[in-house]
């Protein structure tokens, strides 16, 4: 663990010193590769990176003018649900371009699932729950890929944020609530720090898929209570935002998710446009590779449906695809199916000229999971990584994105 903090955290100290004065984003690939020589840091680039130029142009405007908010939506599976990978990316971008909020969060503890370390949630009642990896369960998953529901009268949800990686308190002063509201279900929202309470109910002409609340004072927690009713209450997630310019980074990670899992969740696609993404980052493929019988044509078709849906709801957003890192098949041998998945994803990005970050290749390719496991960077299940392993991967991605942004700056 000492090696990790030594090689990754200088990234943030560099930001603190240079971000005010320099347009280029500092990168730390050489530092990482010295500690982990099995990583192909020389290949840590984004292929077809010019597809990100419209997004980079917005980033440049944000940096120069210090106005506005850019929204990044990172969609994936269990590798990003716990946020260790995405936390590094989010923190780095927000330190350089400004912090517009924590973004989309979900009370994973109430769904009996693993939560990011900076999110607390609790309730006065048990909840039924589902995630989009289980479409056979008759509970529709929403924008977070999850749903909790109950018919308990007066059910309450408490959500709070802990300090970030640099021990800075995380606050918000506006919320976008994704939840069931109709003629039989209304809610009371009470935020900490002397904020007044807010009644959340359906207005007659309201067609929005979320309810927005603007607070009087910034806070780090809130309580949401349903008004007495035996009707089903459903909660899908909340975006915690700040009235400051910068980046808002939404993480949507779902244990067991595949491209097809998302394709089969209509409520997810109905609510997703509310995040107004300027950039989508898509990190899927691991769970497809844990199953036998999925042929290349079917996988590419599922990718095609997914990206067609993105184009339909966000025609102007940039898209960046990532490949999954190497792992083991049934814990015994390197996963040959991942080679096929990686080939399919890289081929798709080439055909459609979509930016690609090939983590499979960068982290060592087929068989490299032995090295990650030997260094204590992979969990005992030999599919997931340790917190340190994910943070190394997050730093690699951040560096690759930074390099591409710096190239954009130097060519304009």
DSSP assignment of 233-284, as one string? EEEEEEEEE-SSSEEEEEEEE-TT--HHHHHT-HHHHHHGGGG--SEEEEE-
Q: How confident is the model at residue 17 (pLDDT cuts 50, 70, 90)?
A: very low
Is the pLDDT reported for residue 27 higher than 50? yes
Mean pLDDT of all residues in 128-153: 97
Give the long-range contacts of residues 124-128, CB within 8 A, separation 24 or more: 124/154, 124/155, 124/156, 125/150, 125/152, 125/155, 125/156, 126/150, 127/155
Query: Domain count of the chain?
Result: 2
Domain of residue 85, CATH code: 3.40.50.1110
Is the pLDDT reported for residue 2 higher than 60? no
Q: How confident is the model at residue 164 (pLDDT cuts 50, 70, 90)?
A: confident
Write the pLDDT tens digit of every residue in 246-293.
Answer: 999 999 999 999 999 999 999 999 999 999 999 999 999 999 998 877
- The rounded distance, in Å, linking the Cα atoms of 7 and 29 is 9
- The rounded distance, in Å, linking the Cα atoms of 264 and 392 is 32
Write the pLDDT tens digit of every residue in 218-246.
Answer: 999 999 999 999 999 999 999 999 999 99
Output the pTM of the full model: 0.94
Q: How confident is the model at residue 9 (pLDDT cuts 50, 70, 90)?
A: very low
C-beta atoms surrounding 330 within 10 Å: 9
Mean pLDDT of all residues in 311-340: 92
- 239, 256, 273 — which closes off a domain? 239
Write the pLDDT tens digit of every residue in 198-219.
Answer: 999 988 778 889 999 999 999 9
Is the pLDDT reported for residue 331 higher than 90? no
- The rounded distance, in Å, linking the Cα atoms of 249 and 221 is 19
* pLDDT (0 to 100) of residue 1: 37
Residues 153 and 89 in one domain: no
Residues 220 and 293 in one domain: no
CA angle 165, 166, 172 (to 5 degrees): 80
C-beta atoms surrounding 8 within 10 Å: 22
Task: Output the DSSP codes for 7-34.
Answer: HHTHHHHHHHHHTTT-SSPP--HHHHHH
Residue 228's domain spans which residues? 108-239
- 217, 239, 261 — which closes off a domain? 239
Mean pLDDT of all residues in 133-141: 96
Residue carrying the six token digits 């969060």:
105
Q: How confident is the model at residue 172 (pLDDT cuts 50, 70, 90)?
A: very high
- 195, 220, 239 — which closes off a domain? 239
Q: Helix 296-313 to helix 336-351 angle, to the nearest 10 degrees?
A: 40
* pLDDT (0 to 100) of residue 30: 80
* pLDDT (0 to 100) of residue 8: 47
* pLDDT (0 to 100) of residue 28: 84
Please give the share of the chain, as a percent, with pLDDT higher than 70: 95
Is the pLDDT reported for residue 5 higher than 50? no
Residues 164 and 291 in one domain: no
Q: Helix 10-18 to helix 84-97 angle, to the nearest 10 degrees?
A: 10
Is the pLDDT reported for residue 349 higher than 70? yes
């Amino acid at each position: 663990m000492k090696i990790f903090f030594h090689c990754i955290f200088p990234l943030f100290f560099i930001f603190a010193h240079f971000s005010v004065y320099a347009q280029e984003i500092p990168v730390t690939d050489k530092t990482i590769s010295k500690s982990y020589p099995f990583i192909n840091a020389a290949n840590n680039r984004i292929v077809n990176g010019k597809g990100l130029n419209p997004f980079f142009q917005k980033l440049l405007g944000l940096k120069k003018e210090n106005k506005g908010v850019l929204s990044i939506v990172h969609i994936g599976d269990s590798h990003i649900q716990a946020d260790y990978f995405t936390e590094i990316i989010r923190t780095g971008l927000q330190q350089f371009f400004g912090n517009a909020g924590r973004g989309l969060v979900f009370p994973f503890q109430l769904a009996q699932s693993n939560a990011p370390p900076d999110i607390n949630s609790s309730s006065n009642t048990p909840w039924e729950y589902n995630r989009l990896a289980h479409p056979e369960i008759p509970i529709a998953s929403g924008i977070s890929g999850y749903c909790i529901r109950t018919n308990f009268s007066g059910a309450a949800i408490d959500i709070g944020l802990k300090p970030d990686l640099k021990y800075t308190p995380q606050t918000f002063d506006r919320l976008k609530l994704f939840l069931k509201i109709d003629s039989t279900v209304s809610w009371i929202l009470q935020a900490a720090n002397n904020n007044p309470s807010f009644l959340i109910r359906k207005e007659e002409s309201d067609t929005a898929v979320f309810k927005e609340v603007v607070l009087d004072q910034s806070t780090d927690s809130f309580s949401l209570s349903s008004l007495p009713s035996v009707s089903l209450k459903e909660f899908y997630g909340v975006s915690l935002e700040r009235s400051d310019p910068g980046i808002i980074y939404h993480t949507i990670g779902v244990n067991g998710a595949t491209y097809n899992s998302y394709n089969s969740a209509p409520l997810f696609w109905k609510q997703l446009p509310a995040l107004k993404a300027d950039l989508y980052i898509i990190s899927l493929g691991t769970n497809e590779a844990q199953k036998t019988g999925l042929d290349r044509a079917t996988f590419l078709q599922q990718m095609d449906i997914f990206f067609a849906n993105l184009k339909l709801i966000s025609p102007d957003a940039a898209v960046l695809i990532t490949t999954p890192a190497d792992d083991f098949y049934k814990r015994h041998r390197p996963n040959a199916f991942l080679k096929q998945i990686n080939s399919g994803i890289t081929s798709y990005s080439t055909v459609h000229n979509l930016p690609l970050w090939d983590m499979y290749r960068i982290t060592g390719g087929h068989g490299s999971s032995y090295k990650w496991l030997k260094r204590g960077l992979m969990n005992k299940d030999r599919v997931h990584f340790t917190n340190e392993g994910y943070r190394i991967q997050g730093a690699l991605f951040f560096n690759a994105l930074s390099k591409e942004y710096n190239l954009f700056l130097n060519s304009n």
